[in-house]
Structure 1
C-alpha cells in the first residue's frame, strides 16, 4: 500500500525512540541521585518548571518570606525559580511565572537595559533601575540587584527586585513641590528683575564677600516684603496663575472681590466651572475667550477686558481685567498675572444711563407728539375761533408744554447737581407755611387731601425754593404711586438740632430690595408692574438738595402698609 512506511523510515523512528529512552533513563537516574532538583518541560502553553524538595528547602523558605521579589535565572534568561512576591509584582500566578523568559516581564523600552544588566552581571554584581510589566499592563518601577550563583548544576543568576513605586511617588511629589517653589522663585525674579540684575552684576564684577552678600540678600528680602505689602494693599485684585491656569497667588483684594478665602481661591483655575463667567450681554463666556486665556494664547498683554461673574449662590458682578504673560529666560510662557477691579457700579451706571436715554426719549416724545397734534388741529381751526374744541386744544397744548418744561428742568437740575453748580440762598423759614404754599395743587385737585401735624412754629435756615421743590416732589410721588390713598400725612418734628419732615401715604408700599436704590440717579420704582412716567431724576434731585443743606433723606416702607419719605434739615 502507498501509505505504508518504508523499512528505513521505521528504523529511523526506532533509533530516535531509543535516544529519547536513554535521555529519560539518565534524567530519572539524576533525579534519584539528587543531581538535579528542577525540570523545565515544554507544554502546549509554554515552558513549565517542576522542582524537587532538596537541601536548599530552608533557603527557599527564607526567600519566599522576603518583601522583595526574588528570581533565579539560567544562562538563557529563563526563570528557574521565583518567590510569591515577584508573582505579585507582575500580577501573575506563581506557577505561570516559572519557566518563562525574564524578558516577558520587562517593558519594551527597558528590554535593552535589562539585557545589558544581565550580561554585565555574569562577571560582576550589578544594580540598576527599570520597569517591569504586570499582566494588567501596569508598569512597576523596580531596583534590580543581580548576582551570579555557582550551583552544583552550573552557573545561574540571582535577581532581587525592590518595588520603587512608593519611592517614585514620593519623588514625584517632591519634584512637584520643588517645581512650585521654582515657579514662585521665577515670579519673584520677574517682579524684582532690576534688583536681581543689579545683585548679579555686583556679585560677578566685585566678587563681594560674605558680609556684602548677606547685605544684598537682606535687601532682596526687604524688597520682596515691600512688594508683598504693595500687593496686599492694592485697591485692585491681583491673581497669578501658572502655565496651566491654576491660581498660585491672590492678594486680599482679589479674595474680597471674589468673596473667597486664600485657601479656597488657590484650589481654582481662572475659568473654574463652579463660577459661571459671562459676557457683558449675559451669554456664557467660553473658556478660550476669557481674557487670561487670550493673553496666554497670544502672549500679549490685555487691558480693561470686562466680563461678568455669576457665583453659585450670590449676585452677579462685573470685573475689568488687565492681564500680562510671565516669560522665562527663553521667552516661554510660565504663567500670567492679572489685575482686576469690581466695576459693577460702573456697569450698572452705564445700564441706567442707557435706560435713561430710552426713557427720556419716550418721555419727551409723548408730550411733544401731543403738542404737535394740538398745534396741527389749532392750525386748522384758525379760521374758526369760535370752535368749542379750541379751549380744550389750547389747554392740552399748555399741559404738554408744561410737561416738557418739567422734564427739561429735571435734566438741568440733575446736570447742576453733577457739576456742583447748585447754589443755595438760605433764609429763616417757617416750615408749616412752606408746606401750605407748595401743596395747594393737592387741595385743588379734589382727589387727595393733606393732613398736617407736628410743630407748626418750627423754623429752619434754608433755601425755601429748593426745599419747596423737595416737598412738592415727595407729595407728587405719594399721589402718583398711591392713587388709592386719598389721605397724605405730613408731619413736622424736631429731633435734636434738626427738623424732620415726613410724608406718608397708605399705598401698596415698596419692595425692601428696592429701598437702597430709590435716591440713585435714573432709578425708577415700579412696584406693581405698572409703568409710570418720569426720568428717574426726581428723588435723586431731592437727595442732592437735602445733602447740600447738610441734612439726610430716606424712606421706610412695608408692603401693603404704605410708605414714608422723610428728610431732615439743620435748624442752625
Structure 2
C-alpha cells in the first residue's frame, strides 16, 4: 500500500517536472523568437528602414528614435546647403544631413553614431570638447574649427550650436558651415567664377529632391513651424513661402534682410508687388508669369539658379538667384511654392564691370593704334619725297599714340600687380616741392594750363618718388580731363601730424555727391550723357592702392559749380 502511494507520488513529481520542462521549452522558444525579432529590428534601424539609431556604449546598446513629429525636421535639414547634425549629451551624432557627411567625405551611415569632436583635427579635439561643454550652458555659441576628412584633408568650418528641448529630452543642434571658399576670397576672378560654378552645381544636387520633399512633408512642415524656424533663422540663404494668390506667408530673417522688408510687412507683401520692379538679367521687365515662384506653381516643377533683378522703392537695383519648388497638399494639389535665394548683386556687378572694361579697353586701345597706323602709312608714302613739316608732325603724332598705348598697358600691368599683391615700393627721402615742379611738364608745355605750388616748400617725405609722381600726374591729368575750362590747377601742400597732405585743386564744374564714393573703384569712369572721357577708369584706383601701400589716405571733396579737390597723405621724412 505504501509502495503504491510512493509510486503515485513519484509519478506525480515526474509529470510535474515534464510539465515544467515543457513550459520552460515554450518560454525558451518565445524568448528565442523575441531575440530574433529584436535583432531584425536593430538591423532594420541600422539599414535606414526604421527612423531610429542604435548607439553602442559602455552601458550596452542605446536606442534613439525620431518620432513622426521630428521627421519634418530631418527632411528639411537634409535639403540645407550647410551641414547639420543633432547630438546627445555625450556628443554622439544621432542624426546628420548629407551635406555634413559630404564635408567629411564619409558615407552617411559612417557619420551617424560617431562622437562629433573625434571628427576634428587632433590638435583641436580638446578645444572642441570645451566648446561643446560650454554650449550646453550658453546656447547659441559660434566658433571656427578644422574638421578632418576621410582622406586626411583639413576643412575649416564655422560651428553654430543651439541646445534644443525636444520631446525626447535635451539635444544639441549643430549647423556646420564650410568656410573653404571664404578662406580663398583673395583668389583671382577666374578662380572665383570656377568656384561659383562648382558651388552652383553642388546646390543643384542638394536641391534635386526639393520638390518631392516639399510634397511629402508639407503637413509636417507647418505643424513644426516653431521648431523649424530656429534652423531657418540661422541659414545664410533667404527662404520664402507664398500661397496661390502670390501673398508672402513666410520669410526668414535673411529673406527680410535681402528684400528690405520687416516681419510686419510680410503679410502685405506679394512676390510681384506693383511698388517693386522685377527684371531679367538683361534689363528687360520680368512678367508676373515668368517669375520663378510662379513658374514652380504653374508647371508643378522645380526651378533652379534663376537670376532676376529687383528694384525696390528708394533702393538701388539688386540681383538674387532663386531655387523654387511647388508645395502640394496631401491630395497632390498645389497650394503655393517655396523658394530659397541668395543676393548675387556683387557677382553680377563684377561680371558687368568686366564686360564694360573689355569694351572700354578695346575702344581705348583701338583709337591710338589706328592713329599710329595711319601715321606710319603716311610716312611710308613720303619716304621718296619727304615733307619736313609733315614728317615732324607725323612723328610727333606717332609718339603721342605710342605714349597713350604705353600708359594704358602700364595701367593694366599695375592693376594686375596690385591684385596679386606684388606692388613694390622703393622709398627715399625727397622734397615735395621738387616733385611738383618736375612732374606734369607735358601739361605745362601745352601752355593751356598753369600749375602753381602753394605751401611750405621745405616739406620732405619718405616714399617711392616714382610712384608718388604717378599719383600726382594722375590727379593733375584728372583735373585737366574733367575741368578743361579751369586753366589754373593748384597743388597745395600742408603738414598734418606725421603726414604731408597734398591737395590738387581745380575750378571745374565739380562732381555729383552720389558719385564721389565710387571714384576710386576699379574701372569707374565719371562719364555723363553730355561728356565721354577716354581712359580705362584705372588711374584713381591705382593711385588709391599706391597711397594705401604707403600707409596714407586718399580722398576727394567737391561741390557742383565750385570745382573739386583731390588729396592724399604720405608720411613725413
Q: For this structure pair, what is the TM-score category when the shorter chain's length is used for normalisation?
A: 0.5 to 0.7
Aligned mates of 2:329, 2:322 — CA distance in 1:
23
Aligned mates of 2:335, 2:498 — CA distance in 1:
64
Change in CA separation of 1:564 and 1:216 when aligned onto 2, cut-off 3 Å: same
Q: What is the RMSD of the two structures over their aligned residues, measured on CA atoms?
A: 3.1
Q: TM-score, normalised by structure 2?
A: 0.59
More displaced 10-residue stretch of structure 1: 311-320 or 323-332? 323-332
The structure having more radius of gyration, on CA atoms, is 1
- Alignment match, 1:466: 467
- Alignment match, 2:435: 434
Aligned mates of 2:423, 2:227 — CA distance in 1:
45
Change in CA separation of 1:331 and 1:549 when aligned onto 2, cut-off 3 Å: farther
Aligned mates of 1:435, 1:442 — CA distance in 2:
12
Aligned mates of 2:482, 2:376 — CA distance in 1:
31
Aligned mates of 2:501, 2:468 — CA distance in 1:
12
Q: TM-score, normalised by structure 1?
A: 0.59
Query: Is the CA contact 2:547–2:554 (under 8 Å) kept in the aligned structure 1?
Result: yes
1:361 Cα deviation (Å)?
Answer: 1.6
Query: Is the CA contact 1:510–1:527 (under 8 Å) kept in the aligned structure 2?
Result: no
Aligned mates of 2:173, 2:350 — CA distance in 1:
42
Deviation sequence 1:19-63 (CA, Å, 0-9, x none): xxxxxxxxxxxxxxxxxxxxxxxxxxxxxxxxxxxxxxxxxxxxx
Query: Is the CA contact 2:475–2:504 (under 8 Å) kept in the aligned structure 1?
Result: yes
Query: Is the CA contact 1:550–1:569 (under 8 Å) kept in the aligned structure 2?
Result: yes
The one of 151, 167, 170 equivalent to 1:216 is: 167
1:376 Cα deviation (Å)?
Answer: 0.8
Alignment of 1:13-412 (within 5 A): 190-191=75-76, 216-219=167-170, 228-242=229-243, 244-326=245-327, 333=334, 335-412=336-413
- Alignment match, 1:509: 510
Change in CA separation of 1:452 and 1:227 when aligned onto 2, cut-off 3 Å: farther
Change in CA separation of 1:276 and 1:255 when aligned onto 2, cut-off 3 Å: same
- Alignment match, 1:32: none
- Alignment match, 1:520: 521
Aligned mates of 2:232, 2:272 — CA distance in 1:
22
1:493 Cα deviation (Å)?
Answer: 1.6
Aligned mates of 2:422, 2:354 — CA distance in 1:
21
Aligned mates of 1:551, 1:226 — CA distance in 2:
51
- Alignment match, 2:484: 483
Aligned mates of 2:425, 2:514 — CA distance in 1:
33
Q: Any gaps of 5 or more consecutive residues in structure 2?
A: 1-68, 79-84, 87-93, 96-164, 175-223
Query: Is the CA contact 1:381–1:387 (under 8 Å) kept in the aligned structure 2?
Result: no
Change in CA separation of 1:488 and 1:187 when aligned onto 2, cut-off 3 Å: farther
1:386 Cα deviation (Å)?
Answer: 4.8
Aligned mates of 2:513, 2:487 — CA distance in 1:
24
1:569 Cα deviation (Å)?
Answer: 2.0
1:523 Cα deviation (Å)?
Answer: 1.3
Q: Any gaps of 5 or more consecutive residues in structure 1?
A: 1-183, 200-213
1:295 Cα deviation (Å)?
Answer: 2.9
